[in-house]
């Protein structure tokens, strides 16, 4: 009898311990260890049981920059401090930590659009320019909000995430998703377009170089061509770089485009006795694989003296030393350097002095109305005079009429390209071998 009682007691104690362990595990599963807030799993669990609620996401602005600059210890301090601020400010709401720098606010009632808008306006004021002190260092934090005003709460997470992305892109303090916005359709279209681009890029025949001639303004003869990338999809539609390059970078296939354009351009001009230029981005220059690929192509082709690599002046160059090292290396093979789109942004003349390119390509925004715009004429004249004194040749882009070409020649620009001279075409060999009568 005693053994049975002892056994029953042990079983009861074991059940109690198991229940306690289960409770602890469930709490750990549903609680964020850093902030002690309920986490994403708890949020999803709670929302399943609710019919009427308002769901708001708040994201710390530039948290990665703060974390990288101050270190992860301070980053964790910022997250904890921000979590405490949310709890203290929003005592009538439940706060969750759903991702690294992202939190959720759940109100028990469903707000109409204008009520929600007023609430977010006030919330963005209350949580603006938050100030935290860590080891005598003041850290300022701002955030962005997003929510959805629809009655139907299905896909609430995707809707609010789309609103947050839109607010971030447009640099707004908050954005409210409405079904009439059709953001989901935009994202579906982007996904379909990305799939189309990936297929065309992976199948290298979808990436095609087009070539635009560049003339010598004194002789009016074609002296070189610029290689311009185009994408041809499965339906035969032609896409310009502005459309597919940003998408290619996002889906991480951009390097394939650069290599393909380089390879196809070198193959074509090995059969045609003209110089040619290829565009490179700063991203290309710092990519070790592309760097190695370019060097190998130059070594194997022996065509370096006929090639010009163009770097966009508008490119955000984070490490000027890397650019200098790259250009120094490729110049060993006789390669020439051009700064493209010069004048499109805040043109840095010291940048030109240090890099000392062989060519400066004056941006089309200055050339487009050169025959009528006095201010454009003054700016271009300054660029030309500056370049001549440094021994740098100049190229006018976007020459679209005879009057613009005359203005270009009058200012002493060395070369021209544009639709008035000829539009970009993939049929360069046929044009050169069989010129028009």
How high is the pLDDT of residue 338?
95
User: Per-residue pLDDT for 297 more than 60?
Assistant: yes
pLDDT (0 to 100) of residue 10? 64
Q: Strand 130-134 to strand 137-141: parallel, antiparallel, or no bridges (unpaired)? A: antiparallel
pLDDT band at 268 (very low <50, low <70, confident <90, very high): very high
* pLDDT given at position 372: 93
Segment 193-205 mean pLDDT: 73
Q: What pLDDT does 254 receive?
A: 87
Q: What is the mean pLDDT of residues 225-232?
A: 92
DSSP string, 189-250: HHHHHHHHHHHHHHSGGGEEEEEEEEEETTT--EEEEEEEEEEE-TT--EE-HHHHHHHHHH
Mean per-residue pLDDT for 106-123? 92
Q: For residues 120-147, b (16+ Cβ closer than 10 Å) or e, as one string?
A: beebbeebeebebeeeeeebebebbbbb
Q: With bands split at pLDDT 50, 70 and 90, how would you rate the model's confidence at 383?
A: very high
- Residue written as tokens 């708001």? 56
Strand pairing category for 222-232 and 238-239 = antiparallel
Each residue's pLDDT tens digit, 99-112? 889 999 999 888 98
Question: Residue 429: its pLDDT value, please?
Answer: 64
* Percent share of the chain, pLDDT over 90: 53
Q: Which domains does the chain carry? A: 31-181 (3.30.70.270), 188-433 (3.20.20.450)
CA–CA dist 276, 296 (Å, integer)? 18
Rg value, the chain, Cα: 30
Most confident of 280-294, 296-310, 316-330: 296-310
Distance between CA 54 and CA 150 in Å, rounded?
A: 10
Distance, CA of 211 to CA of 226 (rounded, Å) = 5
Other C-beta atoms closer than 10 Å to the C-beta of 91 total 7
The residue that leads in pLDDT, 8 or 285, is 285
Read off the pLDDT of each residue in 426-435 and give the average, rounded to a whole number: 69
E-strand spans in 274-418? 275-280, 307-312, 336-342, 359-362, 393-396, 415-416
pLDDT at 289 exceeding the cut of 80: yes
């Amino acid at each position: 009898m005693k053994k049975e009682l002892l056994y029953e007691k042990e079983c009861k104690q074991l059940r109690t311990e198991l229940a306690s362990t289960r409770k602890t595990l469930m709490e750990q599963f549903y609680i964020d260890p850093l902030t002690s807030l309920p986490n994403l799993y708890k949020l999803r669990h709670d929302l399943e049981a609710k019919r009427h609620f308002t769901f708001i996401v708040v994201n710390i602005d530039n948290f990665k920059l703060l974390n990288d600059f101050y270190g992860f210890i301070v980053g964790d301090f910022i997250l904890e401090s921000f979590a405490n601020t949310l709890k203290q400010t929003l005592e009538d709401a439940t706060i969750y930590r759903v991702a690294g720098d992202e939190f959720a606010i759940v109100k028990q009632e469903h707000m109409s659009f204008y009520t929600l808008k007023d609430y977010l306006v006030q919330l963005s004021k209350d949580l603006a320019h938050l100030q935290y002190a860590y080891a005598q260092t003041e850290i300022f934090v701002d955030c962005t909000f997003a929510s959805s005003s629809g009655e139907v709460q299905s896909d609430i997470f995707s809707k609010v995430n789309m609103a947050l992305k839109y607010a971030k892109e447009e640099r707004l303090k908050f954005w409210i998703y409405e079904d009439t916005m059709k953001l989901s359709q935009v994202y579906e279209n982007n996904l379909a377009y990305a799939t189309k681009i990936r297929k065309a890029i992976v199948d290298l025949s979808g990436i095609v170089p087009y070539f635009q001639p560049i003339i010598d303004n004194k002789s009016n003869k074609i002296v070189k061509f610029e290689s311009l990338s185009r994408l041809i999809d499965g339906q035969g539609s032609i896409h310009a770089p502005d459309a597919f390059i940003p998408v290619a970078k996002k889906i991480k296939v951009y390097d394939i485009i650069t290599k393909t354009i380089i390879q196809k351009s070198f193959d074509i001009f090995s059969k045609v006795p003209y110089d040619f230029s290829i565009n490179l981005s700063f991203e290309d220059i710092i990519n070790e694989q592309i760097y190695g690929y370019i060097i190998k192509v130059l070594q194997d082709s022996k065509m370096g003296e006929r090639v010009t690599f163009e770097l966009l002046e508008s490119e955000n160059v984070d490490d000027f030393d890397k650019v200098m090292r790259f250009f120094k290396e490729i110049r060993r093979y006789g390669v020439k350097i051009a700064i493209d789109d010069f004048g499109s942004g805040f043109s840095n003349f010291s940048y030109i002095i240090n890099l000392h390119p062989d060519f400066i390509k004056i941006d089309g925004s200055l050339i487009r109305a050169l025959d009528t715009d006095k201010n454009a004429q003054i700016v271009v004249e300054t660029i030309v005079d500056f370049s001549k004194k440094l021994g740098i040749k100049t190229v006018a882009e976007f020459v679209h009429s005879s009057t613009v070409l005359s203005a270009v020649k009058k200012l002493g620009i060395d070369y021209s390209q544009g639709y008035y001279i000829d539009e970009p075409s993939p049929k360069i060999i046929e044009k050169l071998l069989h010129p028009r009568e």
